[in-house]
C-alpha cells in the first residue's frame, strides 16, 4: 500500500522528539538523495552547500555514505575526508579504521558478465555498462524508448548465463550483483556493529530515495529512523519523507543546528 510519510522538515519538532536524547548515526544515500539524478552518473554532483552541511554534521555525529556507486567513485563524488563509505550497495566498506569487502569470490563471475554485456550491448546507442568492483550497472536513461526492451532482455539473458549473479532494477538502470544475502540494510547493520554504535544511546537515521534503500529502512525498523526522499506517495518502510535533494540538504542543516545547540 502506498503512502506519503510526514515531512521530516515541516514537522521537525516531532522528528527531533523521535530522536530524544540519543545521538544520531547518519547513513546517507548519494544519488537522488543529496545529488539530483542526472543524465549520466558523473554529472550527478552534490551541491557545495550540501557538502558543507555534511562536513558540519560529521563533527557532530557519525556519518556514513551508503551507495550503489563504486566505492572510489562514491568517495570522489562526496569529496570529504574521514567519513565511512559503503560502495557497491554495501559490498565494499571503507572508513578511517575500517576495511571490509563482501563477495570477493564473485569477481570472476562479474568479469564474465561484463564482457558479455559489452559484446551484446555495443550496438545499442546510449546503453551504458558501468563496472563497479562488486556490481555491474546497465544505465538505460539515454537509450531510445523502442530499444529499452532489447536492453532488458539482454540483461536478463546474461544473468541467466551467470547463475551466481542476480539482477535488480532501479530508476532507469539494471544491476547485476553477487547473489548473496547482502544489501544496504545488512551493510548498515554491520557498520553499526563494527563502529560500536549498537547501544541505546545511538539512533541510526537513514536517508535514501529508491528501492535499494528500502532494504535499509526495513533493517532499521523498530530501532532507527528511515527518511525517504520522494515526491509522491509510494510503498515505503520509511516513516518520514523529504521532497528532493535540496530539501534533504536543508533538513540536514536544521539537524546540524539542533545538534549543535545540544
Give the binding site for Mg ion (CB under 5 A): 29, 31-32, 209-210
**Residue 29 annotated among the catalytic residues of the structure:** yes
Q: Which is nearest to 44 in space by CA: 72, 16, 11, 78? A: 78
In whole angstroms, the minimum distance from the beta carbon of 229 to Mg ion comes to: 8
Question: Phi then psi for 253, rounded to 5 degrees?
Answer: -60, -45
Q: What is the C-alpha to C-alpha distance for residues 117 and 15, in angstroms, rounded to an integer?
A: 45
Please compute Rg for the chain using Cα positions: 18
Of residues 68 and 103, the one with the C-beta less far from Mg ion? 68
Of residues 68 and 121, the one with the C-beta less far from Mg ion? 68
In whole angstroms, the minimum distance from the beta carbon of 169 to Mg ion comes to: 13
In whole angstroms, the minimum distance from the beta carbon of 172 to Mg ion comes to: 12
Residue with cell 532494477: 169
In whole angstroms, the minimum distance from the beta carbon of 98 to Mg ion comes to: 22
Of residues 147 and 247, the one with the C-beta less far from Mg ion? 247
Contact (Cβ atoms closer than 8 angstroms) between residue 211 and residue 218: no
Selecting among 13, 21, 29, 42, the annotated active-site residue is 29
Of residues 32 and 87, the one with the C-beta less far from Mg ion? 32
Q: What is the C-alpha to C-alpha distance for residues 157 and 117, in angstroms, rounded to an integer?
A: 10
Burial of 149 (0-12, 13-18, 19+ CB in 10 A): exposed
Active site residues: 29
Amino acid at each position: 500500500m502506498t503512502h506519503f510519510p510526514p515531512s521530516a522538515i515541516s514537522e521537525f519538532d516531532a522528528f527531533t522528539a523521535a530522536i530524544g536524547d540519543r545521538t544520531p548515526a547518519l547513513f546517507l544515500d548519494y544519488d537522488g538523495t543529496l545529488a539530483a539524478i542526472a543524465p549520466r552518473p558523473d554529472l550527478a554532483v552534490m551541491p557545495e552547500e550540501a557538502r558543507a552541511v555534511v562536513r558540519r554534521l560529521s563533527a557532530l555525529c557519525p556519518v556514513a555514505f551508503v551507495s550503489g556507486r563504486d566505492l572510489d567513485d562514491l568517495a570522489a563524488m562526496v569529496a570529504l575526508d574521514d567519513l565511512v563509505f559503503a560502495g557497491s550497495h554495501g559490498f565494499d566498506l571503507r572508513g578511517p579504521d575500517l576495511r571490509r569487502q563482501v563477495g570477493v569470490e564473485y569477481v570472476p563471475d562479474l568479469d564474465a558478465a561484463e564482457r558479455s554485456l559489452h559484446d551484446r550491448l555495443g550496438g545499442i546507442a546510449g546503453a551504458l555498462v558501468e563496472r563497479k568492483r562488486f556490481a555491474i550497472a546497465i544505465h538505460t536513461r539515454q537509450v531510445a524508448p523502442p530499444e529499452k526492451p532489447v536492453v532488458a532482455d539482454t540483461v536478463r539473458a546474461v544473468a541467466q548465463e551467470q547463475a551466481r549473479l542476480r539482477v535488480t532494477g532501479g530508476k532507469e538502470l539494471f544491476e547485476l550483483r553477487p547473489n548473496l544475502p547482502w544489501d544496504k540494510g545488512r551493510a548498515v547493520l554491520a557498520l553499526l556493529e563494527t563502529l560500536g554504535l549498537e547501544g541505546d544511546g545511538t539512533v541510526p537515521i537513514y536517508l535514501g530515495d529508491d528501492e535499494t534503500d528500502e532494504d535499509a529502512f526495513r533493517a532499521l525498523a523498530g530501532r532507527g529512523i528511515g527518511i525517504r526522499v520522494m515526491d509522491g506517495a509510494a510503498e515505503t518502510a520509511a516513516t518520514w519523507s523529504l521532497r528532493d535533494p535540496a530539501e534533504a540538504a536543508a533538513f540536514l542543516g536544521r539537524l546540524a543546528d539542533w545538534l549543535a545547540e545540544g
